[in-house]
Amino acid sequence: MKLLLTGTTGQLGTAVAEIAPQRGVRIVPLVRRARPGQIPFGRAFPSLASAQVTGDVREPLWGLAEADLDELAGSVDAVVNLAGDTNWAGSGRDLYAVNVLGARGGHEVARELQRRSGRRIVHVYASSIFAAGGTLGRIAENPLGPDRHRTAYEHSKWLAERELERMHTPGDPDVLISRVAALLGDSRTGATRRRNSLYLLAERWDELPGRVLPAMRGAKVDVLPRDTAAGTLLDAVAGLLRSGPRREPVITHLSAGERAPTIRGLLEVARALSPQSFGKWLRIVPASAEQVLWLSGNAERYLPLSPAWRNSIIGLRYIGLDRVMERGRLAELVDGPLPDPSTELLARLLFDLPEPQRPTAPADSGLSRFLA
Ligand SMILES: NC(=O)c1ccc[n+]([C@@H]2O[C@H](COP(=O)([O-])OP(=O)(O)OC[C@H]3O[C@@H](n4cnc5c(N)ncnc54)[C@H](OP(=O)(O)O)[C@@H]3O)[C@@H](O)[C@H]2O)c1
């Protein structure tokens, strides 16, 4: 399988690039012309440098050169768009340009490659489970309706999904809309490209006003280590390529789904693993969905908040709502078990907790029998 991949330098893209060779997946990364202040692509990903093409997802046909389109048409099987503006407190205009125009451009690129080559090419768009806005309960892998609670970021991801559903016509490339859960670092090393607002919960532990965390009873935290998400995404792309043509975009939840821990469970496991890592303990205060959504969506109207704090407050809704992302469609595509990260692993990654020290038997052989 060969992919035209955007967002290679991001949290999810980095993980895809890391595991691709083990899976026999080849990657052509689309890299922006100008990336001021960032490590040059060739230095960060030396093994992919020679394969890269230049472009920008905000431009028509992603700004790809004619020669690159010809070359890609003859070789890639899927256009995988992991580029995104992921600033939860970003401007609506920027979010729209990257997330919505980028999705539209991705479909045009896949269409063009399919037209030029006559081969079947699929289009994969990384959406977000947060496109669900304020929806509660069991959330199906189906198109979502309008919702007054969406933040600008959530709205942009929802609009992108709608745009793909609107554009898709018979004979078009098949579309996989993969709604991604919140991502933590690598499950083995903890390495993370960015620290999203869930990490800010850990960083702001000692600063939370009143030491309280408002959350619905039964609120869940749907997160995955980034390598787990990347592996399952590649499995789903392979599954879509194996299956027959689809009349409509396929929507899946790339998430922990029904296996996601509750916020209470996650925090208690973290405390049990390393009590000395936490200062004063937080109190989880039961709140209604309306309260969690209102606070996370409107606090900045009344309080002077820095962008980092705005991101953190928005993040409250990602740990404070009681809902479950269904994964039936994901199971149909993925040939193997669905992601099932242990609560202990998630707590360790989120709070950067040390590995447990295994007790060693004391030298006194008389005592060591009691430790067996
Ligand atoms: N991480 C999460 O917790 C999470 C949760 C749910 C959904 N998602 C979705 O999953 C996708 C990947 O997220 P991520 O966390 O990996 O993102 P990320 O770490 O913020 O990285 C964003 C990536 O997009 C690229 N990019 C941004 N604007 C671009 C443009 N105009 N043209 C081309 N590339 C552009 C960036 O490239 P540069 O290196 O050039 O800046 C970077 O590689 C996004 O669609 C996001 O909405 C992520």
**Which residue has a Cα nearest atom 45 of ligand 1?**
84
What pLDDT shows up at residue 358?
67
Of 131, 135, 332, the residue nearest 246 (C-alpha): 332
In angstroms, rounded to a whole number, what is the distance separating the alpha carbons of residues 327 and 338?
8
Q: Residue for token digits 């859960």?
A: 181
Backbone torsions φ then ψ of 260, nearest 5 degrees:
-65, 135
Which residues lie closer than 8 Å to 368 by C-beta, 6 or more apart?
A: 361, 362
Domains delineated in the chain: 2-185+224-255+324-340 (3.40.50.720)
**Which residue has a Cα nearest atom 1 of ligand 1?**
183
How many angstroms is it from 276 CA to the middle of ligand 1? 35
What pLDDT shows up at residue 46?
96
Can you read off the two tokens belonging to residue 31? 């890299």
Q: Residue for token digits 């490590």?
A: 39
Both ends of the chain: CA-CA distance in Å? 49
**Which residue has a Cα nearest atom 29 of ligand 1?**
83
Q: What is the 3-state secondary structure (H, E, C) of 53-67?
A: EECCCCCHHHHCCHH
Which residues lie closer than 8 Å to 70 by C-beta, 6 or more apart?
A: 116
Of 257, 285, 267, the residue nearest 201 (C-alpha): 267
Residues linked to residue 252 through DSSP beta bridges, in sequence order: 178
In angstroms, rounded to a whole number, what is the distance separating the alpha carbons of residues 313 and 299?
7
The region that residue 266 occupies, defined by phi over 0 for left and psi between -120 and 50 for alpha, beta otherwise, is alpha
How many angstroms is it from 81 CA to the middle of ligand 1? 9
Q: Which atom of ligand 1 is nearest to the CA of 226?
A: 1
Can you read off the two tokens belonging to residue 240? 């879509």
Q: Which atom of ligand 1 is nearest to the CA of 83?
A: 24
Ligand 1 pocket: which of 5, 6, 8, 12 to mutate (most atoms <8 Å of CB)? 12
SS3 state at 252: strand
pLDDT tens digits, one per residue of 16-27: 999 999 999 999
Of 198, 233, 234, the residue nearest 350 (C-alpha): 198
**Which residue has a Cα nearest atom 22 of ligand 1?**
10
pLDDT tens digits, one per residue of 176-228: 999 999 999 999 998 888 777 677 778 777 777 788 889 999 999 999 999 99
How many angstroms is it from 59 CA to the middle of ligand 1? 16
Q: Which atom of ligand 1 is nearest to the CA of 153?
A: 47
What pLDDT shows up at residue 370?
61
Can you read off the two tokens belonging to residue 42? 């060739």
In angstroms, rounded to a whole number, what is the distance separating the alpha carbons of residues 254 and 242?
19
What pLDDT shows up at residue 371?
60
Residues within 6 Å of ligand 1 by CB: 6-13, 32, 35, 38, 56-58, 82-84, 86, 98, 126, 128, 180, 182-183, 193-194, 196
What pLDDT shows up at residue 204?
77
Along the 372 residues of the chain, how does pLDDT read in single tens digits?
A: 999 999 999 999 999 999 999 999 999 999 999 898 899 999 999 999 999 999 999 999 999 999 999 999 999 999 999 999 998 878 999 999 999 999 999 999 999 999 999 999 999 999 999 999 999 999 999 999 999 999 999 999 999 999 999 999 999 999 999 999 999 999 999 888 877 767 777 877 777 778 888 999 999 999 999 999 999 999 999 999 999 889 999 999 999 999 999 999 999 999 999 888 887 888 899 999 999 999 888 887 888 888 888 888 888 899 999 999 999 999 999 988 999 999 999 999 999 987 766 667 666 666 666 665
Residue pair 174/122 in contact by the 8 Å Cβ criterion: yes
Residues linked to residue 285 through DSSP beta bridges, in sequence order: 214
Which residues lie closer than 8 Å to 97 by C-beta, 6 or more apart?
A: 58, 85
How many angstroms is it from 47 CA to the middle of ligand 1? 20
Q: Which atom of ligand 1 is nearest to the CA of 13?
A: 16
In angstroms, rounded to a whole number, what is the distance separating the alpha carbons of residues 227 and 333?
18
Sort strands 323-325 and 223-225 into parallel, antiparallel or unpaired: unpaired
How many angstroms is it from 30 CA to the middle of ligand 1? 12
Q: Which atom of ligand 1 is nearest to the CA of 129?
A: 6
Burial of 145 (0-12, 13-18, 19+ CB in 10 A): exposed
